[in-house]
């Protein structure tokens, strides 16, 4: 599933093309793309046609396009294989195309915004915007202190200027769960999934099964710093692409897969100490770590 860097790459690519653009036409080709929308395809098409987009915003793994008036937005979640692609007007249908939105931009002219999704776990929806409790902008790419109702429960991500480090440390100090499980909880910290959790824990030398409460203040600070470093490096390299599903708005893949130190490197030598990276089952996923560098936490006496 795309994580923060992959979704941010898409948001940044959409922003110049959609900000200020008029939605000249909306065509839903597959109702399964509207599982989060409160209404049918006809209501989605009619409610959006003629509206103007004011920004491209993101919190965690959610994207949204605020509409003029500041009360509603088009919310997008890419699921496991969703793609938001920009194409010339009248371009042939994409493979697995689910929704097409025809844009008229005052500077860029006509464009088509295509939502394609092979596995149909992604979705689009028209949603209301509500005020953020902390009165800070709702997410990356917007100055408005609003967030879609479907995204309001999602925590801020660690690259968000409004993210509170002290609040994160407090939450970890109260969680007896494995630290990796806490990192994947999008109500605690958003945008981090399996790949970047494994990479950050490797960089911080923390075993994924370490209880969050066992982390010292120093270890927590180190972990948060490594999470940010990993996300920023992945952003700089366009995200992680293991197959053709994870692409930017122009269909190009990211290159961070070449920089991975732990995730997906089962049996290969740890770049730090040379011990073989191991893979263990973790809540229907897998954890990858170095058994030598990332020792299990010792019980407190």
H or E stretch at 66: strand 62-66
Residue 26 phi, psi (nearest 5): -130, 125
Residue with tokens 């919310």: 75
SS3 state of residue 112:
strand
Please identify which of the residues 276, 285, 295, 296 carries the catalytic annotation: 285
Whether the Cβ atoms of residue 114 and residue 100 lie closer than 8 Å to each other: yes
- Residue 64: how many CB atoms within 10 A of its CB? 31
Task: Supply the DSSP symbol for 2.
Answer: -
Is 296 part of the annotated catalytic residue set? Answer: no
Six token digits for residue 229: 């470093």
Q: Alpha-carbon distance 221 to 216, whole Å?
A: 9
Six token digits for residue 27: 């065509």
Is 2 part of the annotated catalytic residue set? Answer: yes
Whether the Cβ atoms of residue 231 and residue 158 lie closer than 8 Å to each other: yes
Is 61 part of the annotated catalytic residue set? Answer: yes
Q: How many CA atoms lie within 13 A of 107 on its CB side?
A: 5
Residue 23 phi, psi (nearest 5): -85, 95
Q: Alpha-carbon distance 143 to 19, whole Å?
A: 13
Q: Alpha-carbon distance 32 to 40, whole Å?
A: 10
Is 265 part of the annotated catalytic residue set? Answer: no
Please identify which of the residues 3, 72, 199, 226 carries the catalytic annotation: 3
Please identify which of the residues 61, 87, 156, 180 carries the catalytic annotation: 61
Q: Is 119 annotated as a binding residue?
A: yes
SS3 state of residue 180:
helix
Q: Is 175 annotated as a binding residue?
A: yes
Active site residues: 2-3, 61, 285
Q: Which residues are annotated as a binding site for DNA?
A: 96, 119, 175
Q: Which residues are annotated as a binding site?
A: 96, 119, 175
């Amino acid at each position: 599933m795309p994580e923060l860097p992959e979704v941010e790459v898409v948001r940044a690519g959409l922003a110049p093309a959609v900000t200020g653009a008029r939605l000249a036409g909306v065509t839903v080709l597959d109702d399964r793309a509207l599982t989060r929308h409160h209404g049918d395809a006809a209501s989605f098409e009619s409610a959006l046609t003629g509206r103007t987009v004011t920004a491209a915003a993101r919190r965690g793994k959610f994207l949204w396009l605020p509409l003029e008036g500041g009360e509603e937005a088009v919310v997008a979640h890419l699921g496991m294989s969703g793609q938001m692609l920009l194409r010339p007007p009248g371009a042939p249908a994409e493979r697995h195309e689910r929704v097409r939105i025809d844009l008229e931009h005052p500077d860029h002219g006509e464009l088509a915004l295509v939502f394609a999704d092979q596995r149909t776990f992604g979705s689009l929806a028209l949603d209301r915007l509500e005020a953020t409790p902390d009165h800070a902008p709702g997410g990356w790419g917007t100055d408005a202190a609003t967030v879609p109702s479907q995204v309001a429960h999602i925590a801020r991500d660690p690259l968000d200027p409004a993210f509170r480090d002290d609040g994160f440390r407090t939450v970890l100090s109260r969680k007896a769960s494995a630290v990796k499980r806490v990192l994947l909880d999008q109500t605690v910290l958003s945008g981090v999934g399996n790949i970047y959790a494994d990479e950050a824990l490797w960089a911080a030398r923390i075993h994924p099964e370490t209880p969050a409460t066992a982390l010292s203040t120093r270890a927590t600070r180190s972990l948060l710093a490594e999470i940010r470093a990993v996300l920023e490096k992945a952003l700089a390299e366009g995200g992680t692409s293991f197959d053709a599903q994870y692409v930017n708005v122009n269909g190009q893949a990211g290159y961070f897969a070449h920089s991975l130190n732990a995730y997906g490197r089962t049996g290969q030598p740890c770049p730090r100490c040379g011990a073989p990276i191991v893979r263990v089952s973790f809540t229907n996923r897998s954890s990858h770590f170095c058994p030598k560098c990332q020792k299990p936490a010792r019980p407190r006496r």
